Each structure stands twice: as C-alpha cells, then as structure tokens.
Chain A
Amino acid sequence: MESFTNHIAIAAPLLQDDINTDQIAPILHGSRSLKEDYKAMLFMRARQCDDGGEDPNFVLNKPQFRSAGILVTGQNFGAGSSRESAVWCMLANNIRVIVARSFADIYRENCLQNGLLPVVLGAQDADAFTARVVAVDGHAPFTVDLVSQRITGPGGPDISFEIAAADRMRLLEGLDDIGLTLKHMDEIVGWEQRAGAAQPWLQRAQDSRR
C-alpha cells in the first residue's frame, strides 16, 4: 500500500449526507470484463445528464474542480454496499482525502486498506472548513497533513483532526495489512488447536452426505 504523509490538492464540496456506494461506484451495468474503468466509474451517474452528456452542474465536472484531490462531504459517507471499487475509483481520480462528518463503517475500513485518508471533523470544524472550501471555490489548494494532523489552507486558521493512532501509523507507514497479521500466525494456529478441542464442529465444515 502506498504510504500517506500529506496531500496538497484542490478540495471539492459535495455537500450531502448519506452518499452511498451505489452513487459513488455503481455496480457493473453492462461491463463485460473484469477490468473496470475506475476513473470513469466515480460518480458515473451524477456526472451525466439524461442524454448521456456531461452535467456541467455536478461539482467534479466544473473546471475548477476537475483535478480535485480532496472531497468534502456530509454525514455517513459511503453507506451501503461493501464494494471496494467505491474507494478505488477515488484513487483512480487522485482523490486521496475525504473529509466528512462521519463515515459508514465498512467504507472507512476500505479507505484505510487503500491509503485513502478518511478525515472526520466535528460539527464546528466541519462547518468552518466547508465554508472555506466553498469560498475559495477551487482556486487554491488545501494541505492535509497526517504527520501533524492538520488541514491548512486559505481563508482561516489551521484545523486539527483526530485519527486513531493505529490507523494513522498504518497510513503513514503504508503497512501491509496482511503482513502485519501474518506475524501472528503462531497464535492463529494455536487458536485453531484450542478451538478444535473446545468447539470441534467449528474447525470442520464438511458435508455429511459425502
């Protein structure tokens, strides 16, 4: 996984609550291959008008936000399906930070797994930051720094944010999640032996008809 230290980018405001993964990355409709175009997938429907042309009013279609790398949104971002393409399509568009008031659990985990920084701001900070993002309207970038846990940029003072120390470390070091766990293989095998004695039916999954 690519490590994350800081990200300097245009911040785009997508100011809705409960944006779900069907909106972020629709399930394949008509694609015939395993290789999906994650760049094009991001908010595919919202980006388009009914006639298939680009909707000029959708925030990421506006000229000043075309290269946005920070997404600013509301409550419960990423609700719905567990599909990880809803994170991959952010990365395919160089969006490496999402600032929200809250995230859906599985989506947040999928972010951490892929080096995408999910920043949660409390109501006051979120209001202030959102106002600044709207005011600057894509004409100057913000910096999100994970080392100092700060957002800096035009229109106001630095905003600090909280993130669990463990999640921060994982992102900063770009740690291989499976590698971290494989260090515990002895414990896993030990558990299997204990469970096999305590609840043997758990360690065997066999079709009794065969």
Chain B
Amino acid sequence: MSRTLFDKIWDFHLVGRRADGRDLIYIDRHVLHELHAHHSFAQLEKQNRRVHRSDLTFAVQDHTVATKPGRNDDTNPSGTAFLKAMREGTRKNDIRLFDIDDPEQGISHVVAPELGIVLPGATHAVPDSHAATVGGVGALAFGCGTSELTHILATQVMALKRPKRLRARLEGRLDAHISAKDVALRLIAELGVAGGRGFAVEYAGSVVRAISIEQRMTLCNLNIEMGGRSGFVAPDDATFGWLKGRPYAPRGAMWDRALDYWRTLRTDDEAVFDREVALDCSTLEPQITWGTDPSQVVGISGRVPELTAIDPARRAAAESAFGYMGLAPGTPLAGLPVDRVFIGSCTNSRLPDLEVAAAIVRGRRVAEGVVAMVVPGSSTVKREAEAAGLDRVFRDAGFFWGESGCSMCAGGNGDRGQPGERCVSTTNRNFENRQGAKVRTHLASPATAAASAIAGRIADVRRLLSGAA
C-alpha cells in the first residue's frame, strides 16, 4: 500500500496502543533544555522513577545563558538557578549535558542536527515548540510540554494521537536574496496561524529540493507558527552529504547500511494526504511581519493592510496589532525607522544565515542609533564563523557579536529591547512583549535584518545592494 513518509516513520516507531487509544511512539533522540528540565527531574525523583534511556537523552543550556563574552552562571542572574539545576539533574541521571562552557553548547535545535544527533527517519522530542526544526534533515520531531518530557524520560515513548497529513508544495525558483524565511512567512500568511493544526506537514516541491539543509531547517522551524507540531522534508543526497562525518552520525559499514535505508524515506507516488496546499514562490519578494502574530505578513514593498482588506474574523486582532505596533493601516513597511536588529535564534542562526548577513554588512556601518546584535545558534557556529572572519565583519560594522544561545528570541536570558523600540528580528515570534515589554518586533530574514541595520530603517535588501536605498 502506498504510504506517505510520515506514515513510514510513524508506523516504524509504533510500539503499541495504550488503553486510552493513544499510539505509543518511540523517541529515538530526546533533547532537554534548562528552562523546563528541572521540573521533570524533580517529578521523577518524587515519583521514584528512573530515566529509561539516558544514552538517547541529551541536554543543553540555551534559554537562559548570557551572551556576553566571558559569561558564566551568574552573568544572567535570573538563569543561575536553572543552569545549576540542569547540571545537577543531568549528573544524577547520567545525561550528556552541553553545558554553558562546552565547545558544542548551543540552542537545542541547532546543536542536535549539527552534531548528527538527529538523523533522517528518526523521531525526536524537545520540550520546546520549535522542535520540528530538525525536520530539515528528515527527522520526525515533536515539541512537548513538561509532563510529556517527564513521560519520555521515564519511558522513551510519547503517547500521541496520530495526526493528519498535509503536504505543502513549494514550487518555482527563489530570486536572489529570497530565502526559506520568506517562503515560510508567506505560507503562514496564506494558511493562518492555525492552518497546520492537527497535521504533520511534509514540505515538498522544487524550492525545497533547491535550498540548503540549513534553509530546510528554517522552513521546518516555522511550522509551529502555523500550528503544526511536526514538519519535515524528505531526506535526499544533499541531506546525506550534509550529515556524513558528523560526530554522532553512523560511520563506516553502519553508514552505508543507514544510507540504504534512508534512501527509502520518501512519500510513495500514489500516497494520499489529508490536505495539500501549494505555493508558487517564483515571484516572492522579501517578506516581513507588520503585526503581532506571524501570519500578519506583507512583502517588503507592501503596506500595513487596510482593515477592509482583512478577513472580518481577524479584524479585531489586526486593530489591536496596529495599536501595539504603532502603525496606521496603509503605512509602507520599507522606510520605517528601526531601533534594534537581532540576528539569531533557532530560526536563523546557522552559519549560512550569518554568511548571508555578513555579505550585506561587509564594508558598511550600522546606522547611527541602531542597536544591532548577532548571536550564533551554537558555539560551533560561532567558532566556524570566527574562523571565516565573520565576527570581524559584524564587529567592524558596529554589531554586537555574542556567545551562543536563545538570547533575544524570548528574552529568557535578559537580552531584551526597551519599551516602544522597533526591532527587525530573524526569530519566529512577534508576540506582544516577547522581546521585552512593549517591543515592536518585525520578523524577517537575515538578509532583510542586515539591510535594515545598515539603513536604520526597514529596508529592501535588493535596493540596498543596488545602491537605490
């Protein structure tokens, strides 16, 4: 029988069915972070339960770590207790921790694929909603809550309801300076913030095949912003080439065997999805959010929409977004003065993201009065970027160059903007107050963020580079 890739991975990992009808799905790789894990360690201890597979469990310090050079546990005082509790909990439970000073520390969703911890066709869970980032290498991932996290620690399975299947075909060819971030924002705008709810999403089409593995991760990262828990791209030769030689990936004869299997990881031609959507990306321009949810998106040459152009059911939300963002309907996005630019987060902090931004910044200066930051997604990315001299490019232009972590994505480490500031950010959520009280966040690609830092205004990277801005 024809099956989708989702079905193949799910069926392989189906351990059994529980009395309440839920499927027990085995989790091959489980990665914890310090903001939530301490609750679970405490729960386990209270319930007198053990971690079933500490060897398949990893932990990172990412949400609360400071980004200042020379950081330690106390640099961000609100993180100290979390960092220590994580250290203690992982030591007691014999879990490999990528601690604050580990050369491979970083954001869970960046570290796990980069080290080859997640693999094609593997299942993966993280107590963070952006777990699906690793769908970029063809893994099936689930963001989970704290109770689920404890459940996985104790059993190595999740008790899930089988989701429906959605295929998003991204067709056409991307123009220069257009990236997966722009594609994802457009897709969220089309489907809405709940358009993917209840679905596992397979991203397919010519665009997906053409983009790098890192870009596929950006695409899958934003899956949750349209409500989808799991999203992935079928692995191909680009994926295998990308993974080969990574520290935790199989080697030698085992690699060959894995490769034979991974080549079967595709949706059969006749397989049927519960829903199919398509997006022609050929004419896409850089995308940016104007509002306070990730579906409130326009092209960079566009304007804040008029109320009449908005679906009546969404008008109240739009009006409240106008107020919060300090934007009147009809205002052009390009040209709005910005106070802050953030390049980082599990969405856009891998080496190619930084390369794109650096190429725009090189030989230019951050506009007067703009606070601009680059925070690499992992210490590995940071090291590689420094080896390529990117840190100099950013610093010479006036950017802050930080130690890796989540930083301003959610501000859990104290990196936050000031009230009223307008911020162009490569992150994934423009919710009110997320990047600091009353901070006005515009989500965009690294290219748009870099161009806006230079211009001091929301900028069209294509115009900046052609000297027209």
Contact = CB atoms under 8 A, between A and B. Distances in A.
A163 interface: no
B34 to A, nearest CB: 10
A117 B28 CA distance: 31
A74 to B, nearest CB: 9
Interface stretch (A2-10, A18-26, A135-143, A150-158): A18-26
A16 B155 CA distance: 38
A109 B248 contact: no
B193 A76 contact: yes
B19 interface: yes
B6 to A, nearest CB: 15
Given A18-B293, A82-B127, A202 B145 contact: no
A79 B431 CA distance: 10
Interface stretch (B65-73, B74-82, B269-277): B74-82
Interface string A151-172: 0000000000000111101100
Interface of A: 16-18, 20, 22-23, 26-34, 45, 75-76, 79-84, 87, 102, 104-106, 109-110, 113-114, 164-167, 169-170, 175, 177-178, 180-185, 187-188, 191-192, 195, 198-209
Nearest to A182: B155
Nearest to B42: A34
The 7 closest A-B pairs by CB, nearest first: A166-B20, A113-B147, A84-B146, A110-B145, A201-B250, A187-B16, A166-B21
Contact of B431 (A23, A30, A102): A23
Interface in B108-155: 115, 117, 119, 121-122, 127-129, 143-148, 150-151, 154-155
Contacts of B249: 201, 208
Contacts of A203: 28, 56
Given A17-B313, A113-B147, A31 B194 contact: no
Contact of A188 (B143, B148, B155): B155
Contacts of A29: 78, 411, 416
Give the dominant DSSP class at B's interface: loop
Interface of B: 12, 15-16, 18-22, 24, 26, 28-29, 35-36, 38-39, 47, 49, 52, 55-56, 58, 63-64, 77-78, 80-82, 85, 115, 117, 119, 121-122, 127-129, 143-148, 150-151, 154-157, 159, 161, 193-194, 197-198, 227, 229, 247-251, 254, 257-258, 261, 293, 313-314, 316-317, 410-412, 416, 429, 431-434, 437
B26 A195 contact: yes
User: Which of B29, B55, B129 lies at the interface centre, i.e. has the most chain A CB atoms within 10 A of its CB?
Assistant: B129
Given A34-B85, A191-B26, A114 B127 contact: no
A87 B117 CA distance: 31
Contacts of B115: 207
A16 B316 contact: yes
A206 to B, nearest CB: 7
Given A22-B433, A188-B16, A203-B56, 7 more contacts: A32-B78, A80-B429, A106-B143, A166-B21, A191-B16, A195-B26, A209-B247
